[in-house]
A and B are shown apart, each in its own frame.
Chain A
Amino acid sequence: MVHTLVAHVEDRPGVLNRVSSLFRRRAFNITSLTVGPTDRAGVSRMTIVVDTDEHGAERLTANLYKLVSVLRVENITGVPTVSRDLAMIKVAAPAETRTELIHLVNVFRARIVDVAPESLLIEMTATEEKIDSLVEVLRPYGVLEMARTGRVSMARGTRPLGHADASMPGDELGLQAAAAAAAGDDGVSYSV
């Protein structure tokens, strides 16, 4: 089954390489991996979607924690989350099908962000499934080019990932606090 892991990592050169190398080294197949900045300077957030079983997800989490640059990992697979994928789809749009296409885009609540004489550039932010169905519908018209970001996910509710209850003194980035939080409620820390 598909598991979604969220990893907070130090924003340093080579960290993405360390994470992706771990997946290769331990023979896991990444479905998608997105990385971007967080609200805290020096900390990046990765959403990793991986096809593995429960046991595999546990192993992966424990191994991610062993990376010195990884601050916190959470498996949000069973947790209520909001997930989004962003797609840009360029589709052939001669005069005779253009109106139809615009209608479809509206039905899917996507947006047209560029209009050219023979094509439209459609942007959609939604769950992967919704984007998949838009792509299915557009395919007969001629999809010329497509780019997708892969999934980013966030747990619902008030407790944000990577934040401790209280900030520690001298911990401007909140990194130590994040680390303490990473130790989890059961007090188990994984990094050796």
Chain B
Amino acid sequence: MKKTGAEIIWECLVREGVTTVFGYPGGAILPAYDAMWQYPVHHVLVRHEQGATHMADGYARASGKVGVAMATSGPGATNMVTGIATAMLDSSPIVCITGQVGSKLIGSDAFQEVDITGVTLPITKHNYLVTRAEDVARSMREAFHIARTGRPGPVLVDVTKDAQQASCEFDWDAAAPQLPGYRPPLRSRAAEYELAIELLNGAKRPLVLAGHGILMSGAMAQVKDLAERACIPVAMTLLGIGAFPASHPLNLGMMGMHGEAWVNHAIQEADLLVALGMRFDDRVTGNLKTYAPLARKIHVEVDRAEINKNVKVDAALVGDLCDVLDELLPEVRAQEHPEWLARIDELKGDADVRDIQNLPDDGHLYAAHVINDLWRETRGDAVVVTDVGQHQMWEAQYYKHEKPRSLITSGGLGTMGFALPAAIGAKMARPDAEVWAVAGDGGFQMTMAELATVAQENVDVNVAIINNGYLGMVRQWQEFFYGGRYAATPLLNPDFVQIARAYGLRGIRVDSRAQVIPAVREARNHGGAAVVDFRVEKEDSVYPMIPAGASLHQMIRRPSPIVETAQDA
């Protein structure tokens, strides 16, 4: 049957199971938009193309499905770059479709022409420039296949205007992916398995490092089985949070730069690290020379290029986490490690008694209070989408995530402005879930325009602005490492309550601790989106902290504890 290239784009989207597309029209993508009405796909009009890519990303992370963003050529496409890089660094499966100037005009510096496949080459898993209608279907099918298989990632399909307008025969089956150079991972060598099993069965002080890959692979049950059977405590990466229940007795909490002190000490004392779907990022290892000096290492990872990249490992098991663990588990002996668990308890001391709810109110509103109350009020059931900075770390420390895909955050790229649009995408993917965007006052203003999308689409997301009047994390670094010279970090902010109201949304301001719970309740119950402006302590810092490049055990601790332990009160 004959179809235009534009129609084929939508045909493919529908057949790939896409129901929602986040986009922004423009000249070179107009033929595609003109064909849109024929297809059962909901288009969400964003206010900036970066927002579209973050929404697609949030959609993908909340659901595990491929998120789709659409934009025009030139500035529309370049506005997507930050969102594409964000998805690349966090292995999020999105497909970005951009219009391109007519194929005859390519290379002529035509109006709104940008070589977007060239620009996105290092930040996509793969990309396509499609100049003929005949190539649209295969490129689309390959894009989805590549985006969601192996180590997921963003794929961009750039379609020239004439390829959208021209007609050709559309044959879905004939357009099946032909990717001889793209092969899903096979299994590792048997010898590596044997070594891994030997290490797992022989370790005295083992530790699981649980990463994002667990969520991607859906290996939550296998990881729990492994941890319980071999009695291995589990440390989480930022993106791994949710992969193992926070309340599980073996869950130690987050590792790394702002991880729990006892977790970082445990890594340094462990005799075996079992890294599952994580990539030894510099934010979790600190100084590589002194990282986990006593530990042998097992690395289970779908991407071969991550093996031995930062940390040399003893047994590398390349493959899908589910498959690898399914194969390993029958060989893993049931074990107990009472001495090791006792040692970790000793490292914890009383520092894990973080019941800040019971602390007296000294008149200050701390971000930790806000996050803690939000956790209690939502019973830990919300999908929380954070921005980047101090609030992101406080969220990771104080919101206890029990379920997979309940924390969505920009980890690898650290993209400010991520929270609001990604939360919109997450809510679109899971309309029944309660979704909160938690952002700082700086990051929120980077993509605040998407409040209009919230209003226009009637998306029921709540926004908690952790407002300290600073670019807080940068201010913290200036305080610690730059002599307290606060260059360009104080912010003069608008009244966020009025901003929310201007968009027709509920705006709530919170200045004191007593107002937190009523505000959270109002936001949750009023029936619609709300923006809550939490005016928190201005110069609070995130503790503990490993300075960049320092060793894991060289942590900066909170000088005068305010929220660390009940005993401190």
A residues at B contact (CB < 8 Å) = 9-10, 13-14, 17-18, 21, 25, 55, 58-59, 62-63, 65-71, 173, 175-176, 178-179, 182-183, 186-192
Contact = CB atoms under 8 A, between A and B. Distances in A.
Interface string B183-211: 11111110000000000000000000000
Given A68-B125, A182-B183, 15 more contacts: A14-B129, A62-B307, A63-B305, A65-B304, A68-B179, A68-B182, A69-B181, A186-B188, A188-B188, A189-B183, A190-B304, A191-B182, A191-B183, A192-B150, A192-B302
Interface in B141-168: 146, 149-151
B181 A188 contact: no
Interface string B270-284: 000000000000000
A188 B304 contact: yes
B464 interface: no
B279 to A, nearest CB: 12
Contact of A192 (B129, B151, B179): B151
Interface residues of B, number: 30
Interface stretch (B2-10, B12-20, B114-122, B514-522): B114-122
Contacts of A187: 186-189
Nearest to A58: B308
Given A55-B308, A68-B146, A189 B184 contact: yes
A51 B203 CA distance: 39
Given A68-B146, A175-B180, A183-B183, A192 B303 contact: yes
B318 interface: yes
B296 interface: no
Contacts of B304: 62, 65, 188-190, 192
Nearest to B155: A68
B183 A21 contact: no
A160 to B, nearest CB: 17
A62 B305 contact: yes
A55 to B, nearest CB: 7
15 contacts: A25-B122, A55-B308, A59-B305, A59-B309, A62-B304, A66-B305, A67-B181, A68-B146, A68-B181, A70-B181, A186-B188, A187-B187, A188-B186, A190-B318, A192-B150
A116 to B, nearest CB: 38
Contact of A71 (B125, B149, B180, B184): B180
B158 to A, nearest CB: 12
Contacts, number: 81
Contacts of B189: 186-188
Contacts of A190: 185, 304-305, 318
A49 to B, nearest CB: 21
Contacts of B308: 55, 58-59
A21 B122 contact: yes
A14 B117 contact: yes
Contact of B186 (A25, A55, A68, A189): A189
A63 B308 CA distance: 12
A186 B187 CA distance: 9
B318 A188 contact: yes
B126 interface: yes
Contacts of A188: 186, 188-189, 304, 318
Contact of B185 (A9, A71, A178, A189): A189
A13 B122 CA distance: 16
B25 to A, nearest CB: 27
Given A14-B117, A18-B121, A58-B308, A66 B303 contact: yes
Contacts of B126: 68
A23 B302 CA distance: 22
Given A25-B122, A188-B318, A191-B150, A176 B186 contact: no
Contacts of A173: 180
Nearest to A67: B181
A188 to B, nearest CB: 6
